[in-house]
């Protein structure tokens, strides 16, 4: 795993590179380590509050550990009327956690998301940013089993 210090430095010279650097760190860690955000403040010459302010503004960035598989369920209107709530019920039951939580083994995290732009086939979930469309509750256990 690449060190976050190294990753941050790769973006130091890029104008407006803070957000790109966060993407790169999260691509490696699946989350933003709190120390990485403090380090980013130093690398990009901004205050710690600005570095944290940016990191916490965006819903895709998360400070602090989360699972290897991040499952996001769209709760926008087209998915809502297509039965997103039933998918949430099955996911919570199968994984034994509530939305926003991570399983004890650190494998899965459940998060809400707004529209992911795949509304031709609702409801939609994403697993590590890959969209899965037209999800039926009965498919969920098999989808989870595919995550290894």
Partner 1 sequence: MAEEQRIVLRNADQINPAKLEDYLQAGGYQGLEKARSMSRADLIAEVKKSNLRGRGGAAFNCGLKWSFVPTDAEVSYVVCNLDEGEPGTYKDRIIVQKDPQQLLEGMAICGHAVNAKQGYIYCRGEYPYVVELLNLAIDQARSKGVLGDFNIEVRMGAGAYVCGEETALIESIEGHRGEPRFKPPFPGVSGLWGKPTVVNNVETFANLPQIVFNGADWYAAIGASTYPGTKVLTLTGDVEKRVFIEVPTNVTLREIIYNYGGGVKSGRRLKAVQVGGTSGGFIPEYLLDTPIDYDSMRSIGATLGTGAVFVMDETRDVVDIVTHIAKFFKEESCGKCNPCREGTFRCYEIMDRINRGRGTLPDIEHMIQLGKVMERVCLCGLGQASPSPILTTLQHFRYEYERKLIS
- Of 78, 75, 135, 66, give the one whose Cα is nearest residue 106: 66
76 touches partner 1 (CB under 8 A) = yes
Is 147 labelled a binding residue? no
Closer to partner 1 at the Cβ: 27 or 96?
27
Q: How far is the CB of 105 from partner 1 (least distance, A)?
A: 26
Residue 74 main-chain phi, psi, to 5 deg: -75, 130
The yes or no reply on residue 117 touching partner 1 (CB under 8 A) is yes
Nearest to 1 by CA among 17, 18, 25, 21: 25
The answer for residues whose C-beta is within 8 angstroms of residue 87's C-beta and 6 or more apart is 73, 123, 125, 135, 137, 140
- State in angstroms the smallest separation of the CB of 84 from partner 1: 10
Interacting residues with partner 1 (CB under 8 A):
15-20, 22-23, 44, 50, 53-54, 57-61, 75-78, 80-82, 113-122, 126, 129
């Amino acid at each position: 795993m690449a060190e976050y210090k190294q990753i941050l430095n790769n973006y130091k010279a890029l104008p407006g590179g803070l957000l790109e650097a966060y993407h790169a760190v999260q691509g490696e860690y699946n989350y933003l380590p709190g120390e990485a955000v403090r380090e980013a403040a130093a690398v990009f010459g901004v205050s710690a509050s600005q570095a944290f302010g940016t990191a916490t503004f965006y819903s895709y960035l998360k400070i602090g550990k989360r699972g290897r598989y991040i499952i996001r369920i769209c709760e926008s209107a087209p998915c809502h009327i297509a039965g997103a709530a039933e998918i949430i019920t099955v996911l919570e039951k199968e994984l034994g956690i509530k939305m926003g939580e991570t399983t004890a083994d650190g494998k899965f995290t459940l998060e809400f998301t707004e529209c992911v732009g795949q509304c031709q086939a609702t409801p939609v979930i994403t697993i590590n940013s890959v969209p899965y469309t037209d999800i039926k509750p009965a498919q969920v256990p098999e989808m989870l089993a595919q995550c290894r």
